[in-house]
Structure 1
Amino acid sequence: MRDPNALALAPSSGQRLSVDDYRQDFRSLRTEIRDKDSWKFERRQHFEEDSASRNAFRQGRWREALALLEERREPLLQAVRRDKENNTAFHRVRVVEEPLSPYLQWELHSLRIQAECGKPVRVIQAEKLTTLEADGRLPEVVVLGGEVLYEVVYSGTGTTLGGIRFSDATLIATWEEFIKELYGGGEDVLSYFDRRVAHLPPPGRTG
């Protein structure tokens, strides 16, 4: 089992970015990546987001929320085509705790559509992280092209506060390898969705 100390992210070792700066920095680097893959580790079970589907879900309009997710297929297919042209892929590992939170049930519908459009997404059970989380949950992390690591920072309620940008090569390589290992041992989100999500009734309103 990996040493949890090797995954520690000291904020003082990185560059703190506001929400706008984080998103701009992320988008700029993401579009430049060629011939390298990126990796995302998503741990929290609830986020606050501002999107048409998320807002419909928040207000209890479940069918509308799902219909709005379906409208994202063409942009997703375009994004996958661009990634193929650049010989890159953005892999995502989604940690799940059961029973699923209302937010996660909604997000898994979104991830299913992303996977159907060609994005690589896998699910792992939170229990696999037990020995690594004795002192608390692991952070939300994105590694772009093996060059930059972002810890995405959230409020207690799941609102994005910004990010911390790390450039230490050893830290980046350690996290990239860790997420790759989880991905390798994970379950394809389409399989997980069919087993554990498709049959669920609409969740209650949130937010």
Structure 2
Amino acid sequence: MDTAERLIESTRALLWERGYTGTSPKAIQQRAGAGQGSMYHHFTGKPDLALAAIRRTAREMRAKAEELFSAPGTAVERVTAYLHRERDVLKGCPIGRLTQDPEIMADAELRAPVGETLDWLRERLAKLLAEGRGRGELSAALDPARTAATIVATLQGGYVLARAAGSVEPFDQAIAGVLGLLAAHAGPR
């Protein structure tokens, strides 16, 4: 892995662990095993490096989700697979956590990939649910856009509840609850 890659990967890890405010250039350099000169050779500063790290995290999250959303199966099966995929629940969502960082939210450029990723997730889920409704897998009464927003809000809220409790149990309960709501809208196959 070259220096620029080590810097990006170190920044990604630190942003997830500490947030933007708690991630210093010195901490990034130490974790990456890179000097200050190397960091500023590849990036104009912490915001530029953070933006590269956030964009990569967002791209990877979308790719992992899309892999599950595009898999064979009913809409509910694919949403279930996405919600049950392996995650580090107690660390939280690497994108969702950034919404709690005031410096990220105050900077339009840093905030953009965060908002775009959450928007993409809602839109992709809505499309998947609409597909399921169109195939008769889900009730015509189900509103895909509102249901997608509910799923994303439940997922992000589940992370918060789990972190506050120091246990994955509240997350698992939230996911089971939203899947129960979806099951209530299941149509005949």
Q: Which has the higher contact order (CA 8 A, sep 6+)?
A: 1
* Higher helix residue share: 2
TM-score by length of 2: 0.28
Bigger CA radius of gyration = 2
* TM-score relative to the length of structure 1: 0.27
